[in-house]
A and B are shown apart, each in its own frame.
Chain A
Amino acid sequence: MSVTGAAAYKKRAGMLSIQEELLPPILVWKSIDSSVPVPVVELPLRTLTNLQATPVTLEKMMLKVVSKGPEDPETLVTTVFSFNHRPTMNNIRDALQQIISRQKTVIQPGLSPAPGDATQANDAPANGSLGTFSSTDSLTEAKLLRNHTLQQKLLRAQPALFTAFQETVIKGGLHPDEFWSTRIHLLRTFALESSQRRGPYNVLSTIKTVATSDNQVNVSISIDKIQAIFEQYPVVRKAYDENVPKLSEGEFWTRFFCSKLFRKLKGEKIGVYDKGDLILDKYCLINLDYLEKEDEEDEEHIPRFLDLEGNKDDNSQKLGNGPDVTMKGDNNPEIVLILRSMNKLSTKIVSNCVPHGETFEELEKEKEEELEFKDLEETQPMSYIELHVNSQHNSNSSKTDTEVTIADADKVDAGLPEFKEKMKDYFTTELDLTELYSAPSRKRSAEEAFKDTIQMIKANTKQLKQTWNVTSVESLFSGVSVVNVTTDIDSSLPDADLETLRLTQATSMEFLKHFWVNFTNRKGVSAAGNPAMVRKLYASLKKCQERVESSIQLVAAQNPVKPEPETEKSEGEAVEKPVDNVHERHARDYMGSISRSLLVAIDSYESAVKKVGGVL
């Protein structure tokens, strides 16, 4: 099948042929006249780098082949062949072009998967070390706490968690185990998640060729994809085994994706004029079924059970080829071929999915168990926990509660009966509703009420300003009400400063959590707990207090208050405290709850220490 054509070299007539079957494949020019002592030109196809042909418009038909020098790959050798028949030249040019482009793409698959491979290779052992979660005991708290690889991976996967870790453990001096002990559930889910494996799937259909602008076709495949291809298509492995030492790895795959074999396996139609690949297309002729049979070592199993309920209608043999679409005579043979290969693939994938260890014998055993008499066995009654909600309790308690409040309010209640009598006289005379606005005292009060309302609305407007535009537009279209919109925060502070405050808050929360866990000795087995740890955490809380204060100062320092007469006027508070830094006040407001929480925790510890007569 080698491409040949008449061509002149150095004005001597001869035959030019591309011999791909040879090893290494070469481009050969031989003089027709064997008597003339013209040396045979041989160019190894692998050394070809460039090709140039005279355009159609010119009468001259010449083909310039640029190749690397035989000794020194740096020097380029140019060989010019001239033709007298254009189709011949085009034919040879096309063939060479394909070869050269193949040569070029060969390099890329060889190189480009490399980084991918590296990560894959890195992942594999990592997965191996974490991936042994088949048994539940590796998910125990102790083991998870010891699995540092897992922890690192989780930190890498979750930047927010990483920041928390950095702040509390790396900078704050919290023990890593302490940090993870409250996040066991995260570790556990992550361990389970990362040990998930992808099952078999139709590999070839996932391989997409991407055409680039310079008329090249790129295919990217990874190692595991190649392995999956080998697994699913033994014929490809066979081809690979037989050819790869000869061809380079990359070239093999380039050829494969251009070959008819690829299209056949993929289940595509193969046109008569489709270009294939010389080397790989011959594998199309191999009986694929036979090859796959070789792989199957399973011996035939004879089922020991007969389904007596089945009748003759269930006997598929009697139906002949009727139900099988691929066995109908009037079908397009090409479609049948595709259907068959798809069916074969599906069967294969499904058979691979049989849960591990479920052998034929086990299936038989299952059936045997099904036949056992079970109806005489004792059934276990479903047991529910009955929940008796003692609602009486609530009202009882409330009664005592109100009794207390009434006892407190005894003095006030002295006038109660009298007041009740007065109330009874409320609605004996006609009410004058106009008085609501006409009476001077109520009119004044209404004005005050108006001011009150307006002030609140103004305060709210200020807070909502930032979220307002977004929410109102959103609610217009989606119907989401303001209720669900968490009014994020005041707009007066820049995002970076808010982030600082948030980080300080989160860090303090972290320490608080650990403090309470240890202080109240929730986890500890011994009654004594771990006083040293609590003491350390107490010190950390103290530090947190400082941090909160300094972060507020930082925000205040970075946002010097600008004289804004209009806002100063509109806000009553600002007028009362002229030196007040609005930003600092806001920052203080945001950090208010965390400072309070820190105070409560610190107070609790200090009072506890004082009670036992200790020194802080």
Chain B
Amino acid sequence: MDAIAESVFDNTMPHAAVDDTPSHLSVILETSAAGWLAIPQTTLKQVSEALLVALNAHLASNTSNQVSVLASGVQRSEFLFPTPEDTHAKHHNGTSTLVSSKLYSLFRHVDEEVLHRLDAHIQTEGNGCDKGTLAGGTSMALAYIRRCQAETAALKARILIISITDDSAIPYIPVMNCIFAAQKMKTSIDVCQLGPASSFLQQAADATGGVYMDVKHPQGLIQYLTTAFFVDTSLRPFMVLPSQNNVDFRASCFVTGGVVERGYVCGVCLCILKDVPQRNFCPVCGSRFDDLVISKLRRGPVVTRKKKRKTDALQTPLTPAAEQPEAVTDD
């Protein structure tokens, strides 16, 4: 992966003592009700509280710091903050305040906006049971960061994903595309995993120089957000991050979606397959495979002649490639 992407952060020459360049923090909050239901230890409400404090802390640490917040639900991802001027929070229960009026006005503005929009997001959320929209949300965040960076040169940025779902709800390819885009943009992706461990998100954090943490004490989320995930991008080369070092780099099968230990790669479109395709063409790009190659792959393992061979679809580091076979090995 490193070979494809540019090296991350090779331009972030850390400044000596004081670094005044503004930083952008983009938070993606998963809102899938089913996901939250599966985590009885904490609620979306509690997490939102912690998140707001973290946002305020980020805004407080530098006057020109920026934040953006996205909600990633089961149907759609949308911006909670910032929002276009005309759809300002006023349209929704204009008068009610969700945070203390004593709060510093900048914080209050952001917090109110986030909470109102989040509320609206939950109210309108339908019953879709597709894969989560996390990849879409990440794309939106990256696009927004790109726009901000066009306006403010030298804006540092990082993305924080507050995730509650595991790999089964994450589309592999779009997430990988997001990872590559983030690498190009030198934006790190931090992952705060409240739900079951996700190897794809681990890969995302590892490839972009971000922090991945499985949160063991969700009630103390604020502590994680303001310490482990609070390290500025420019400081990361100098800090020991609380990230996990043993990242699971296995890819997922394009057809079944399962994690692949040993699989097959299409020589044309490079899609990863767990089993030899039933018909002799690639299920993703439709390229025809050589019948001979496929039949060889279907042969099954070689066992001592006396005891006869058997035909068992054993996964092996081979390829049903029509052109040039390439092996995927994972150790």
A interface residues, Cβ below 8 angstroms from B = 385, 387-390, 393-395, 397-399, 401-403, 405-406, 409, 412-413, 415-416, 419-420, 423-424, 426-433, 435-437, 441-442, 444-450, 452-453, 456-457, 460-461, 463-464, 468, 471-472, 475-476, 478-484, 487, 509, 516, 518-522, 524, 527-532, 534-535, 593-594, 597, 600, 604-605, 608-609, 611-615
Cα of A388 to Cα of B171 in the assembled complex, Å: 20
Q: Is the CB of A612 within 8 A of B50?
A: no
Cα A557 to Cα B312 with chains together (Å): 43
Q: A387-B268, A419-B33, A531-B304 are in contact. Are A479 and B12 (CB under 8 A)?
A: yes
3 shortest interchain CB distances as A-B pairs: A614-B307, A445-B219, A449-B220
- Which of B49, B216, B284 is A389 in contact with, Cβ under 8 Å? B284
Q: A444-B219, A475-B238 are in contact. List 15 more A-B contacts (CB 8 A).
A: A394-B171, A398-B131, A401-B131, A402-B131, A405-B168, A409-B34, A419-B36, A426-B43, A475-B237, A484-B7, A519-B301, A520-B314, A521-B302, A605-B301, A611-B310
Is A405 touching B49 in the complex (CB atoms < 8 A)? no
Contact A453 B224 (CB under 8 A): yes
Q: Which residue of B lies closest to A486 (CB)?
A: B2
Q: Which of B152-178 contact A (CB under 8 A)?
A: 168-169, 171, 173
Query: Which residues 252-298 of B have a CB within 8 angstroms of A?
Result: 254-257, 261, 268-269, 283-287, 296-297
> In the complex, what residues of B have CB within 8 A of residue A600's CB?
261
Q: Considering the chains assembled together, what is the distance between the CA atoms of A509 and B249 in angstroms?
A: 19
Partner of A534 from the list B122, B173, B269, B302 (CB cut-off 8 Å) is B302
**23 chain-A/chain-B pairs, Cβ below 8 angstroms:** A385-B268, A394-B173, A395-B130, A403-B129, A428-B96, A433-B103, A435-B49, A437-B222, A446-B222, A453-B213, A456-B213, A460-B240, A464-B240, A479-B9, A479-B14, A516-B317, A519-B302, A521-B299, A527-B299, A531-B302, A597-B331, A608-B301, A614-B307
Q: Are A460 and B220 in contact (CB under 8 A)?
A: no
| Cβ contact within 8 Å between B14 and A476 | yes
Which interface residue of A397, A399, A518, A530 has the most chain B CB atoms within 10 A? A397
Which secondary structure characterizes the binding site on chain A?
Answer: helix
Within the complex, the shortest CB–CB distance from A445 to chain B, in Å, comes to 3
Report the bound CA distance from A121 to B287 in whole Å.
Answer: 54
Tell me which residues across on chain B come within 8 A of A481, comparing CB atoms.
7-10, 12, 209, 236-237
Contact B131 A395 (CB under 8 A): yes
Q: Is the CB of B220 within 8 A of A442?
A: yes
Q: How far, in angstroms, from A446 to B283 measured CA to CA in the complex?
A: 48
Please, which residues of chain A bring their CB within 8 A of the CB of B44? 423, 426
Which residue of A389, A520, A535 contacts B304 across the interface (Cβ within 8 Å)? A535
Query: Does chain A have a CB within 8 A of B116?
Result: yes
Q: A436-B50, A609-B304 are in contact. Are A406 and B129 (CB under 8 A)?
A: yes
Interface of B is mostly: loop
Q: Cβ of B241: which chain A residues have Cβ within 8 Å of it?
A: 457, 460, 482
- B201-231, CB < 8 A from A: 206-209, 213, 215-224, 227-228
Q: Which residues on the A side are within 8 Å of B268 (C-beta)?
A: 385, 387
A419–B39 alpha-carbon span in the complex (Å)? 12
Residues of B with C-beta under 8 A to A604: 301, 314
Distance of A612 Cα from B306 Cα, bound (Å)? 9
Task: Please give me the residue from chain B that is nearest to A405 by CB atom.
Answer: B168
Q: Is B60 an interface residue (CB 8 A)?
A: no
Q: A446-B222, A482-B236 are in contact. Are A431 and B48 (CB under 8 A)?
A: yes
Q: Does B100 contact A (CB under 8 A)?
A: yes
Q: Which residues of B contact A394 (CB under 8 A)?
A: 171, 173, 254, 284
- With the chains together, A409 CA to B227 CA distance in Å? 34
- C-alpha gap A465/B172 in the complex (Å): 34
